[in-house]
Amino acid sequence: MLAQQLLNGLVVGGVYALFALGFTLVFGIHHLMNLAHGAVFMTGAFVALYTVLAGMPLWLGFVFAILACGLLSILIEVTAFRRLRKSGEAEFGAIISTLGAELIIVTFAQIVSGSDVLRFPFETFPVEIFEFAGLRVTLLQLFMLVSSLLLMLILTYYLYRTPLGTRIRSVSGNERASVLSGVNPNIIYYQTFFLSGALAGAAGVLIGLSFNSIQFAMGEPFLLRGFVVVVLGGMGSIPGAMVAGLLLGMLQTLTAAYLPAGLTDAIIFSLLFVILLVRPYGLFGKETAGAMRAER
């Protein structure tokens, strides 16, 4: 029973990690919070769903979702961030303007869907159940786990092993340095936002398939959980987000399984609050990352 819960938690946690990675990537490199990230996630589920409803195969929906969300994320950068980057109050301003972007995207989705809860047609994803060592795992769960891990690997490879990724990391948070090294900062922004959005879109498709309940407000709880993951992992830390995502997934399934119903959210957000007080730079973040005030 415990092992089964841990396995289920791992599957959900992989998707949390995927979602939070995009959020933490933008924060780590540009020091900006993108509160429209949950809306991008929701858009991913919508794009895949409408592709399938239009009679096209699911894999194509997956590809479309990733592309569309990457582009949507770039659009958010251009409309919500670009002007603010030059002002002194980018940190505060970005929160307001991406919150605005979130409201716009969510309202649009609400109108498109007529506020209904939408579902993938039956057997869009083949229902197959495997059993081994007493554990039950569906093909969909395997697919979720494998694709989350795969996407995380691709991102890690891109950031740490390719020249483009190295460049992104080297200019992290420092536009002057990037200009000096001959990189147009906008190119860096396009790349990080595309990656960030693509990951959110993929997470949206996976969650849409797994719960098979897609609606315009589905991004908000994910955004809120995303905060838990990125803070637990350390704001801006890539490995931190991966580990913390998996941890949160398991914690959530365990509390849901063993504690009275309805207590999960209280526990998760109390955890977030306590981490911020005790260790605001998270498990993997650096103490110097600016979570704390300067001395005295």
Partner 1 sequence: MSNFFTVYHHLFDVFLIGSGYALSQWVVMRAGVFSVATAGLASIGAYCAAILTTKLGWPHPLSILAGTLLGALTGLLLSVPLARLRGVFQAIATLAFVQIVVAIGLFSDSLTGGAIGLNAIPILIGTKENLLALLCTIYVMLAISATRVGRAFEAIRQDEAVASSLGVSVTFHQSLAFGLSGAIAGLFGGLEAFQTFTLFPNTYGFGLIVAALSYVVLGGRRSVAGPIVGTAILLILPEVSRPLADYRNALYGVIMMLVIAFMPRGIVDTGLLYFRRRRLAAKAAMESQQ
Partner 2 sequence: MSALVIKSVSKHFGGVAAVSNVNMEVPSGKVTGLIGPNGAGKTTLINLITGVLTVSEGSIHFGAQDITEVPAYKVARAGISRTFQNIRLLAEASVIDNVMIGFYRNEKTTTPASLLGLPSARRETAALRDRANKLLERFGMSKFADQEAGGLAYGHQRRVEMMRALASEPALILLDEPVAGMNDVEAGELGEIFRGLAKDGMGVLLIEHNVRFVTNLCDFVYVLDSGRMIASGSPEQVVNDPAVITAYLGS
Closest CB 139 distance from partner 1, rounded Å: 34
CB of 36 or CB of 144, closer to partner 1: 36
133 touching partner 1, by CB under 8 A: no
- Of 62, 211, 235, the C-alpha closest to 148 is 62
172 near partner 1, judged by CB under 8 A: no
The entry of partner 1, partner 2, none near residue 277 (CB within 5 to 8 angstroms by kind) is partner 1
Tell me whether residue 123 or residue 295 sits nearer to partner 2 (CB atom). Answer: 295
**Binding track over 4-33 against partner 1, x by CB under 8 A:** -----------------------------x
| Shortest separation between residue 1's beta carbon and partner 1, angstroms | 24
75: contact with partner 1 by CB under 8 A: no
286 near partner 1, rule: CB under 8 A? no
Pairing of strands 129-132, 135-138: antiparallel
89 makes contact with partner 2 (CB under 8 A): no
Containing 130, the helix (H) or strand (E) segment is strand 129-132
Query: Which part of the chain contacts partner 1 (CB under 8 A), choosing from 18-26, 96-104, 135-143, 199-207?
Result: 96-104
> Which residues from 266-295 bind partner 2, rule CB under 8 A?
294-295
User: Residue holding tokens 């309940």?
Assistant: 213
How distant is the alpha carbon of residue 48 from its chain centre? Answer: 17
| Distance separating alpha carbons of residues 202 and 179, to the nearest angstrom | 32
Q: Could you tell which of partner 1, partner 2, none binds residue 207, using a CB distance below 5 to 8 A set by kind?
A: none
Work out whether 176 is an interface residue with partner 2 (CB under 8 A): no
Please check whether residue 190 is in contact with residue 175, taking contact to mean a CB–CB distance below 8 angstroms: no
- The verdict on 258 binding partner 1 (CB under 8 A) reads no
| Residue 296 within binding range of partner 2, rule CB under 8 A | yes
131 interacts with partner 2 by CB under 8 A = no
Q: Of the candidates 277, 6, 281, which has an alpha carbon nearest to the alpha carbon of residue 134?
A: 6
In the bound complex, what is the minimum distance in angstroms from residue 288's beta carbon to partner 2? 10
Nearest to 244 by CA among 279, 294, 206, 296: 279
Structure tokens at 17: 């990690």
Place of tokens 């990230």: 37
Q: Which is nearer to partner 2, 161 or 293 (CB)?
A: 293
CA distances from 9 to 40, 203, 247, 252 (A): 23, 15, 8, 7
Find the binding residues for partner 2 in span 222-251 (CB under 8 A).
none
User: What is the C-alpha separation between 69 and 75, in angstroms, rounded?
Assistant: 10
Evaluate whether 231 touches 276 at the Cβ level (below 8 Å): yes
Q: Which of 3, 59, 78, 92 binds partner 1 (CB under 8 A)?
A: 92
Contacts of residue 238, defined as CB under 8 A and 6 or more positions apart, other chains included, come to 21, 24, 25, 28, 155, 156, 159
Contact footprint for partner 2 (CB under 8 A) = 294-296
